[in-house]
């Protein structure tokens, strides 16, 4: 209904871009903020949810995990649907469904209902989020793409870091007696504005849709969904269940399902159909190398965020709000790094900024390890601030150029597929990082206490970032669409 009252969107051209492209970028970033806030904000409110609704430990965990799992399973399909049916249409549909699901989450009468509505939220997020990268490439001329992607760093970094702070504040403030329900209701004004603005500002589907039409592949959707489910479900649930045998069997079973999916995709292409993932993407070394780098990087980032929050709340006994406020230096570092990278460094040095960011972030993680190991029992936010700011600076340096480099050389017909794969890679990396670093933290905490467990896990985070740095060297030079090299 929104698109019927919207004025005709100006058609973009490769040289000038969409007339309202910067306003369109703001709309896309608003959707990304909703997703990231919803991912990070809910964990802080989980104890209050349990106190109000009851439920088992597993049910409380699934309030977060159901969203992540649904999001991961449908992400790549969501990107392909945007290619086929129009990215603006899928963006508006995803934003509207996400907003409605947020309202249903806030009204949930029990833990089971909340898990179900969170699953619906994740499914609509999978329709919404993958459209952003394709819309940006359709709206911006090549010479401005780096600046557009550079804004992702500060905005997304702030959202992911400030989510726990906002969650703690809304839960503790208990506005109008809403308590934890406010963490979902905050999506309503943002979501409604996003839906209305998207209908009026984003380019028409005739501009943003991929040039090559086709049909969705239902067998491919089922196979890919099964492969992701077999891998992500045990990663999400394994630590809670102390890693029973079936979790390892399920993860191992995902490999042959991926092989079957790959064979099926090649068969679809030979028959002249439209594969769910463009096989040509994996012939592009920059894209494949970026996937490998991003997988390790997002594992380190998600694991670090989890362990830091657990350390402050379980190890030091800080409140959620105190823990969230202590992460402000990380937020400042992310913004500074992303602005520096996007405005100055990435346009000139490209992938070298990724290398520098990995090293700086690793140095920050090592600084956290040293701070925790050498601090007395009364560790303070002030003592943690320098290492957090350094880690944030490195993360900001990475975030600004990552997507621009990953999508360099990707054709228009491959954009939706590439966006879905990149977003799915983030979810998978996050699940791996949470499982790996979370398991290490709790294992060490049982034998050596929370202080040593936190310090050693920060050291493990630094090691992961060092691995990401080494993998980043595999990123080959790739000419940008405008001819400038990376």
Q: Give per-residue pLDDT as tens, 411-435.
A: 776 776 777 788 778 777 877 887 7
* Per-residue b or e along 261-293, where b marks 16 or more CB atoms closer than 10 Å to that residue's CB: bbebbeebeeeeebbbbbeebeebebbbbbbbb
pLDDT (average), residues 229-237: 81
Q: What pLDDT sits at residue 430?
A: 78
Q: Which residues contact 426 (CB under 8 A, 6 or more apart)?
A: 294, 298
Residue 315 has what DSSP assignment?
I
Q: What percent of the chain has pLDDT over 70?
A: 86
Rounded distance between C-alpha atoms, residue 252 and residue 231, angstroms:
8
* Closest to 335 measured CA to CA, from 199, 153, 465, 183: 153
Task: Write down the pTM of the prediction.
Answer: 0.75
C-alpha span between 58 and 247 (Å, rounded): 15
Contact assessment for residue 460 and residue 441, using Cβ atoms and an 8 Å cutoff: no
Res 188 pLDDT > 50: yes
In the chain, pLDDT over 90 holds for what percent of residues? 18
What phi and psi, each to the nearest 5 degrees, are found at residue 16? -105, -30
Q: Is the pLDDT of residue 91 over 90?
A: yes
Residue 484 has pLDDT above 80, yes or no: no
pLDDT at 102 (0 to 100): 93
Which residues neighbour 445 within 8 Å (Cβ) at sequence distance 6 or greater? 314, 315, 453
Going by the DSSP 8-state scheme, the letter that residue 241 receives in this structure is T
Q: How confident is the model at residue 479 (pLDDT cuts 50, 70, 90)?
A: very low
**Structural domains of the chain ordered from first start:** 281-486 (1.20.1250.20)
The confidence score (pLDDT) of residue 11 equals 40
pLDDT (0 to 100) of residue 93: 95
Q: Report, as an integer, the average pLDDT of 81-89.
A: 84
pLDDT at position 474? 64
pLDDT digits (tens, 9 = 90+) for 355-408: 888 899 999 999 999 998 887 667 888 999 999 999 989 988 887 677 777 777
- Of 173, 169, 24, 42, the C-alpha closest to 101 is 42
Q: Whole-angstrom Cα distance, residue 152 to residue 339? A: 10
More confident residue, 18 or 205: 18
Helix axes 87-106, 131-139, angle to 10 degrees: 140
Q: Which pLDDT does position 483 carry in this prediction?
A: 37
Mean of the pLDDT values across residues 221-244? 82
Q: CB within 8 A of 182, min separation 6: which ones?
A: 106, 170, 171, 173, 175
Q: What is the structure's pLDDT at 208? A: 54
Determine whether 342 is exposed, middle or buried from the number of CB atoms within 10 Å of its CB (0-12, 13-18, 19+). Answer: buried
DSSP annotation of 176: G
Convert the pLDDT of each residue in 300-352 to its tens digit. Answer: 888 888 788 778 877 888 876 787 788 888 888 888 887 887 777 777 777 78
Q: How far lies 33's CA from each of 36, 65, 158, 334, 352, in Å?
A: 5, 19, 9, 15, 27
Would you say the C-alpha torsion 163, 166, 169, 170 has a positive or negative sign? negative
pLDDT of the residue at 212: 53
The owner of tokens 């000139």 is: 348
Q: What is the mean pLDDT of residues 460-467?
A: 90
Average the pLDDT over 179-186 and give the result: 86
Q: How confident is the model at residue 130 (pLDDT cuts 50, 70, 90)?
A: confident
Q: DSSP of 327-350, one letter per residue?
A: THHHHHHHHHHHHHIIIIIHHHHT
């Amino acid at each position: 209904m929104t698109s019927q009252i919207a004025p005709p969107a100006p058609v973009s051209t490769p040289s000038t871009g969409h007339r309202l492209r910067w306003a369109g970028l703001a709309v896309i970033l608003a959707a990304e903020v909703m997703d990231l806030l919803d991912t990070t904000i809910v964990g802080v409110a989980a104890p209050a949810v349990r106190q109000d609704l009851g439920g088992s430990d597993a049910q409380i965990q699934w309030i977060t995990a159901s969203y992540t799992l649904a999001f991961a399973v449908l992400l790549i399909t969501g990107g392909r649907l945007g290619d086929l049916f129009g990215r603006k249409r899928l963006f508006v549909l995803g934003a509207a469904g996400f907003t409605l699901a947020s309202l249903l989450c806030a009204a949930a009468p029990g833990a089971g209902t909340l898990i179900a509505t969170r699953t619906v939220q994740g499914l609509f997020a999978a329709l919404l989020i993958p459209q952003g990268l394709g819309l940006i490439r359709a709206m911006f001329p090549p010479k401005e793409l780096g600046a557009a992607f550079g804004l992702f760093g500060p905005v997304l970094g702030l959202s992911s870091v400030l989510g726990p702070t906002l969650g703690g504040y809304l839960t503790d403030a208990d506005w109008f007696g809403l308590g934890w329900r406010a963490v979902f209701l905050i999506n309503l004004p943002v979501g409604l504005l996003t839906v209305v603005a998207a209908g009026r500002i984003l380019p028409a589907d005739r501009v943003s849709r991929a040039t090559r039409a086709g049909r969705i592949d239902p067998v491919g959707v089922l196979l890919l969904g099964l492969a992701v489910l077999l891998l992500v479900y045990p990663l999400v649930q394994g630590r809670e269940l102390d890693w029973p045998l079936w979790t390892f069997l399920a993860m191992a079973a995902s490999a042959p399902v991926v092989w079957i999916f790959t064979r099926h995709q090649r068969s679809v292409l030979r028959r002249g159909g439209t594969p769910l993932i463009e096989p040509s993407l994996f012939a592009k070394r920059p894209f494949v190398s970026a996937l490998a780098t991003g997988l390790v990087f997002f594992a380190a980032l998600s694991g670090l965020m989890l362990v830091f929050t657990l350390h402050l709340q379980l190890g030091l006994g800080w409140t959620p709000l105190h823990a969230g406020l202590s992460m402000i230096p990380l937020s400042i570092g992310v913004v500074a790094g992303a602005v520096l990278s996007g405005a100055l460094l990435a346009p000139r040095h490209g992938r070298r900024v990724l290398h520098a960011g990995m090293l700086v972030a690793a140095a920050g993680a090592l600084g956290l390890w040293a701070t925790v190991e050498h601090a007395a029992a009364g560790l303070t936010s002030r003592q943690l601030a320098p290492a957090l700011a350094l880690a944030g600076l490195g993360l900001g340096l990475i975030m600004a150029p990552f997507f621009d480099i990953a999508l360099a050389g990707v054709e228009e017909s491959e954009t939706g597929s590439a966006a879905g794969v990149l977003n799915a890679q983030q979810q998978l990396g996050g699940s791996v990082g949470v499982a790996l670093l979370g398991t290490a933290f709790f294992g060490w905490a049982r034998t050596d206490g929370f202080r040593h467990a936190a310090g050693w896990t920060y050291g493990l985070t630094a090691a992961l970032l060092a691995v990401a740095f080494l993998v980043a060297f595999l990123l080959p030079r790739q000419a940008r669409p405008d001819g400038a090299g990376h």
